A and B are shown apart, each in its own frame.
Chain A
Amino acid sequence: MLSVAKTLIRAGLMTILAVPAGAGTLDTVKQRGTLQCGVSENLFGFSERTDQDQWSGFDVDFCRAVAGAIFGDRAKVTFVPLSAGDRFDALRANRVDLLSRNSTWTLEREAGLGLAFAGITYHDGQGFMVMKDLSVTSALELERARICVETGTTSQLNLADYFRTNSMTFEERAFPNAAEALAAFQSGQCNVLTRDQSALFAERLKLSRPNDAIILPDIISKEPLGPVTRADDFSWFTIVKWVNFALVNAEELGISSANADEARTSHKPDVRRFAGLEGGTGRMLGLDDNWALYAVRAAGNYAEIYERNLGVGSRLGIPRGLNQLWSMGGILYAPPIR
């Protein structure tokens, strides 16, 4: 009797305290018929919205891949633009199912906020933009450089650390915001500008002569960006995590949005498992066995998503760098789908 009552009470508490976990995010999403995905309000290459309410970008495409895995339909996403200040509260309050919003994975955000980063989709980090006429190809050649930086940012602290660690000196020119730092770089008050590297590529496009500046390959800090879920729904977290792995595995296996249907006729065991012909991985996730192929069909594999929004096919032209497969000079490494 007592134990039954306890169970009932516990069940009741669960319902009150953890409605989303009880219902399950996947079930909620399926019932609603659309994925609610939190994205940036407007961030070049990562999340952009046209006048016709069309969304595009690296983070946007990840949302589409998740929608593809669940519904087999890239259009079943509702994009929810969120400011940097609102984003985690919105996720915790169930206003979105998933955050794909240029967010850096840190311990505080997981242990402190009760969130779970489902992986790293983009390895960003602080870099340097220099005028070409400075003729440097490495950050280690920046001895005595005049460097523009935004005041009160981690970039300012990382900059000081980096030069101290490498026994080099520099002249700092600090500005209250990014726009002023860029203007100072353009006008020659400094010959180096430092920020997160992905932002530097976007800033370079704002210069009157973008080709006069280059971005050095060096990265001096860690800014791992990735999708975030609530920590109280492990099955949902697992789905989001494996969609990310699927996109990377697809690139490695040569599966793209252009040949996704041909993958079904492959004789290679790992391609067949990816395509859901063997292994039954979809059922384990609560999805269709075609989930991985659907994700790729919805958004493309990792390389397609990268090149379309940030790389060769985009205005930004950011080299793959760290965000290249482990076997091709980068550090992307996805566990196998089996």
Chain B
Amino acid sequence: MQHQRTSHHQTSVGCKALAVIAWLSLTISLADPAAAQAQAKLSQETFEIGDEPGRISTEEVIISDGPYARQMVFFRSSEAPGTVVIHTSERFLYVVQGNNRALRYGIGVGREGFQWSGLVQVSRKAEWPDWRPPPEMIARQPYLPRFMAGGPGNPMGARALYLGSTVFRIHGTNQPETIGHAISSGCFRLANGDIIDLYGRVPIGTKVVIRHGASL
């Protein structure tokens, strides 16, 4: 238990620390007109929204309508059933079912520059994870709590799936309206009801394939 807490703390710091880097790169890019133009274009696709600790989102909240609702879809894959495949450019997470099908969830993904690809395994699972904003983040947003126990008002949401030894994870959110957008620092977020559903289907050791679109 103690060990879990420690590793959670470290992961939390890593994941959120990237937000500071994102903020810095944004600040720098705004000084350069060409980059600022690129940034303006980017902001149409992403939206800037800070974490809102304390805002309540219960475990019943799911995306119930539209393309980001949990649904069975056609999906050809040579991956074994049970494998999780994430397409960041599409904002979808798939759980391969075999027979050319997959269960698809809408997700929120990393901002441009914070999208990544790779092959990892689910290394740990946690219910209602705690949140410890890193010092850099508190310096920027002094109103943030130093520690927030897991619960319906926690930005980490109802469940978390830790991805290998990376600083990233698949977690819930208390901001379900961010599903379908690119706003995070590289983590993947689902509405609380949806991450709970996913959590029950994905054991530790599950293979997770993260793909994002090609770049020029």
Contacts and interface: CB of A to CB of B under 8 A. Distances in A.
Interface of A: 137-138, 211, 214, 216-219, 251-255, 258-259, 262-263, 265-266, 268, 271, 311-312, 317, 319-322, 328-331
Nearest to B71: A214
Given A138-B99, A217-B101, 15 more contacts: A137-B72, A217-B72, A217-B74, A262-B216, A266-B216, A268-B216, A312-B68, A312-B180, A317-B66, A319-B71, A319-B104, A321-B75, A329-B76, A329-B102, A330-B76
A219 B214 contact: no
A221 B94 CA distance: 24
B72 A254 contact: no
A321 B74 contact: yes
Interface in B43-85: 64-68, 71-77, 85
What's the dominant secondary structure at chain A's contact region?
A: loop
B216 A312 contact: no
Contacts of B66: 317
Interface in B174-216: 180, 211, 213-216
Interface of B: 41, 64-68, 71-77, 85, 87, 90-91, 94, 99-102, 104, 180, 211, 213-216
Contact of B74 (A255, A312, A322): A322
Contacts of B214: 252-254
28 contacts: A137-B72, A138-B99, A211-B65, A214-B71, A217-B72, A217-B75, A217-B101, A252-B214, A253-B216, A254-B216, A255-B216, A259-B216, A266-B216, A268-B216, A311-B67, A312-B90, A317-B66, A319-B71, A319-B73, A319-B74, A321-B73, A321-B74, A322-B74, A328-B87, A328-B211, A329-B76, A329-B77, A329-B94
B75 A329 contact: yes
Contacts of B71: 214, 319
Nearest to B94: A329
A254 B73 CA distance: 24
Contacts of A211: 64-65
Contacts of A268: 216
A317 B67 contact: yes
A321 B76 CA distance: 8
A253 B66 CA distance: 28
A263 B215 CA distance: 10
B18 to A, nearest CB: 23
Residue in A217, A268, A271 with the greatest tally of chain B CB atoms within 10 Å:
A217
A322 B76 CA distance: 8
A254 B75 contact: no
Nearest to A123: B74
